[in-house]
Amino acid sequence: GEKGMSLFETGRKVTHLPTVAKEVYDVTGAGDTVIATLVAAKSAGATLLEAAKIANYAAGIVVGEVGTAQVMKEELYSHIISSLESD
């Protein structure tokens, strides 16, 4: 949502991931992007928390576009790196 996303894991504390979106133009497909990215990251060996963080970045990219949008891995990688460097 507009405040980010929360991760609920059995036996663990709820983890809130604040949004990383810089601009929000259209939320169409944001949920689909989160699910697809979460599954892809988990399939690649990420923990659930790591996958959720990556999915949060992907959603931040998608909502910055008008209409449905795709996130390419290079764009996602670049977005994550630049965000980490600015912290």
pLDDT tens track for 11-53? 999 999 999 888 899 999 899 999 999 999 999 999 999 999 9
**Pair of tokens at residue 41:** 């990251």
**H or E stretch at 14:** none
Helix and strand totals (H; E) in the chain: 3, 2
Closest to 37 measured CA to CA, from 52, 23, 48:
52
Residue 22: predicted pLDDT = 87
Contacts of 64 (CB under 8 A, 6+ apart): 21, 22, 23, 24, 25
Active site residues: 32
pTM of the model: 0.88
Provide the pairing of β-strand 4-7 with 15-18.
antiparallel
